[in-house]
Structure 1
């Protein structure tokens, strides 16, 4: 077990839950004190806002510095590991094909559903404008990418210099290079492949440690950023928090229901039968927010549904290791929400880039705690779409509730797809 996997192990759940609660309390306290400070005199209000902006900005920069090396290392280890799994047998190969197809469909769903939800239930313009004023340091005009022509877009997909692409935050070309490199590495002789893979695992583990250190200071950074937003936005900030949590959680709820559809149509389970079997895994998922912690209950559910133990023992651990069905939809949904909040227009090319990065970045996010994967998975999507990533530092503190629906949807999909792959395999020998 790598350090990344160890962080998701059940014994760490209590510490993770306390950290998430402390971060949420820091957000609420910062917003409330900022709202109170909004009515104060400029003589002391402005210095406080500036100081909070500096503290929050330094913490945000520390978080951002890990994104590039971590996304590269996780993509390489995820793809090479998935490739090895696909080579292990027909059953695993079918599962990986399902995972990839659902990743693409999940990204497309999130990219279309969130704009539709925002159209039906928009963030009030007064609240959006107040938040734009309150979030210090965010300037959409300077952080949004220039709109390229179609020819320029396709020319830019393949980087002439991957190092320069990383230095300039050109995420889509960097991801394309990393994916090609990872698939090539998967075909290298095993001894050399293992050596290279060990290096990237070590880089990923080191970055996870750095992020852990940064997140240890998260209550301070989140409090400072929330204070600055609350002081600028006033009471509008509190309503915006509720609006965001509800809309993002809805995406996870819909994907959970899609899991039931897959179970009924492809695995041929009765809906009542599947719901009864999923009661225990769902309870563990909601309480722990960990797919790994839910694995024993998922294995029991698979047995209750009549999936052979041999197949479940292959497919469910593979799903826990490689499959996060809700990730692409909810991650790109967050980016569309931030774009709506800041008034950033998403171009068709930005849409395409976001869907591509959302689907591919989820490969590397599978074994990470919610607070860490939130940053590493969403920041590349935002950069590829030309959306500022600064608001993510605040939204990170709100991940506790959406993460429940992320995990619930993932666990439901894991069992449903396991049943579908097992049904598709029939009596084939694997």
Structure 2
């Protein structure tokens, strides 16, 4: 999903919009892998390999350095936005109930389905080359008691230095709730600070992403050297598996419209098809908003419902985020041979839900790093492979946008039906 340069407004917060050079980054991935494969059977001077690896490492570190401040600011703004939406009335409460139900259902489905899918369709052996950038040392997965102790950090600065995402996420979620209860002037002052911080971090990450082709090419070259031609098959496997988790949300949208919205699957499919076509072609929920309004009208849903729910959904609801982001983290954990215990799986789902609120208004390629990094860190999963996987996010993002748009229209049908049975919107 991409947003044009300049200023973009989502849900009342203006954030500096940036654009990842998607085509150039994807081309750099292919070229880097190709060059790596070409030199994998020959002799290449070690200083050349080291120099290329340095470029990739520096770009990776530049990408990582913005995660914590950007996540913190977006969490505060996103939760404040969610609280403001909840105050809009009964219809908003109904919609938010759908949001959380869908996000949690997606996380639970992925937690159970992902291991089964990877067992039936194992990760190609060549994918091990993607882990060469992981720092030396075994990845430590904390036990249940360590997990319980990690919920609260006595020193948030130390927690940030250790990238302890669980206590940081809890702290900033509570901080956002506290801001909402402050006198209006004080709350607005703090929100303005976090808004400025988010814009500054987005500006930095924008600069980093503008040189993404160079960084991705360098990282991909190393993967090609280690994995050979099998690296392409490994990426294809990753794209299909992660997209399949998003497919669950797509199917769930039809089921939700039928069971809770009272609309037959065939009628719903026919009405939502134009909006889905726009979603696939633009990979933008915002650009699909007029088509979603038209689909709601085709279904005979009240304009009051669609004109209230759909803009709010575009601002704060990305239905596939938990299912697909958790899938990426679990894919990398399987790649690294890390067994995620049930307690940490629950942590991953909860953090994915909370992070989804803050990162929903960002372009897909940017929210990929911001959203999945904290999930992986909280579960003890290495985040280094994300620097390469972001280069192919343009493909899973098609499924993300398709399912998100479909679920948004399904949510309108549920809110409209429940409002008819209660009071008007």
Counterpart pick for 1:39 among 41, 54, 59: 41
Residue 121 (str. 1) matches residue 121 (str. 2): yes
Query: Is the Cα contact below 8 Å between 2:141 and 2:340 reproduced in 1?
Result: no
Contact 1:332 1:354 in 2 (8 A): yes
Q: Which residue of 1 aligns with 2:367?
A: 373
Cα drift, residue 57 of structure 1: 0.5
Residue 139 of structure 1: CA displacement? 3.8
Cα displacement string for residues 81-134 of structure 1 (whole angstroms, at most 9, x for unaligned residues): 11111101111121112212222221222222221110110013x3244x25xx
From the superposition, tell whether residues 109 and 177 of structure 1 become closer, same or farther in structure 2 (CA, over 3 Å).
same
Structure 1: gaps of 5 or more residues? 9-14
For the pair 1:5 / 2:4, whether they are aligned, the reply is no
Task: Tell me the SS of whatever aligns to 1:243.
Answer: helix
> How far does the alpha carbon of each residue in 1:410-430 deviate from its partner, in whole angstroms, 9 at most, with x for none?
001111012112211225134
Q: Which protein has the bigger helix share?
A: 1
**What is the deviation of 1:5?**
3.3
1:136 aligns with 2:162: no
CA distance in 2 between counterparts of 1:253 and 1:383 reads 25
Q: CA deviation at 1:206?
A: 1.4
Show the 5 A alignment for 1:301-312.
301-312=295-306
Match of residue 55 from structure 1: 55
Following superposition, the deviation at residue 196 of structure 1 comes to 1.4
Give the TM-score of the pair, scaled to structure 1.
0.92
| 2:354 maps to 1:360 | yes
SS in 2 for 1:221: helix
Instruction: Please tell me whether residue 147 in structure 1 is matched to residue 142 in structure 2.
Output: yes
Equivalent in 293, 296, 320 of residue 287 of structure 2: 293
Deviations 1:159-218 (A, max 9, x none): 212222111100011101111111121122222222211211111121111111111000
Structure 1 residue 199 corresponds to structure 2 residue 198: no
Once structures 1 and 2 are overlaid, which stretch shifts more, 287-296 or 153-162? 153-162
Structure 2 SS opposite 1:278: helix
Q: Which range moved further: 47-56 or 70-79? A: 47-56
Task: Describe the shift of the 1:80–1:410 C-alpha distance in structure 2 as closer, same or farther (beyond 3 A).
Answer: same
Aligned length: 415
C-alpha spacing 1:419/1:76, structure 2 compared with 1 (3 Å): same
Matches within 5 A, 1:261-410: 261-410=255-404
3-state secondary structure, aligned to 2:391: helix
User: RMSD of aligned C-alpha atoms?
Assistant: 2.0
Runs of 4+ in 1 over 6 A off after TM superposition: 1-4
The Cα offsets for residues 220-257 of structure 1, whole Å up to 9 and x where unpaired, read as 00000000110111122111011111111111222111
CA-CA distance at 1:153 after TM superposition: 1.6
**Are 1:7 and 1:368, in contact at CA under 8 Å, matched by a contact in 2?**
no
Q: Deviations over 1:357-402 (max 9, x none)?
A: 1111111111010110000000001100111111000000010110
Q: What's the counterpart of residue 104 of structure 1?
A: 104
Checking the alignment, whether the CA contact within 8 Å between 1:79 and 1:363 is kept in structure 2 is: yes
Please give the alpha-carbon distance, in whole angstroms, between the structure 2 residues aligned to 1:140 and 1:119.
27
Q: Could you tell me how far apart the structure 1 residues matched to 2:165 and 2:384 are?
A: 16
2:208 counterpart residue number: 214
110-119 or 286-295: bigger deviation: 110-119
Please list every run of 5 or more consecutive structure 2 residues that lacks an aligned counterpart in the other structure: 12-17
User: Counterpart of 1:11?
Assistant: none
Partner of 1:12: none
| 1:179 pairs with 2:178 | no
Give the Å deviation of 1:51.
1.4
Per the TM alignment, residue 3 of structure 1 is displaced from its structure 2 partner at its CA by 6.4
Asked if the contact 2:33–2:221 (Cα under 8 Å) also holds between the matched residues in 1, the reply is yes
Deviations 1:328-364 (A, max 9, x none): 1100100111111122221233212211111111111
For 2:424, what is the secondary structure of its paired residue?
coil
1:303-337 superposed Cα distances (whole Å, 9 cap, x missing partner): 11122111211111111111011001100100111
Partner Cα distance (1:323, 1:136) in 2: 35
What residue is the counterpart of 1:428 in the other structure? 423
Task: Give the Cα separation in 2 of the matches to 1:79 and 1:3.
Answer: 24
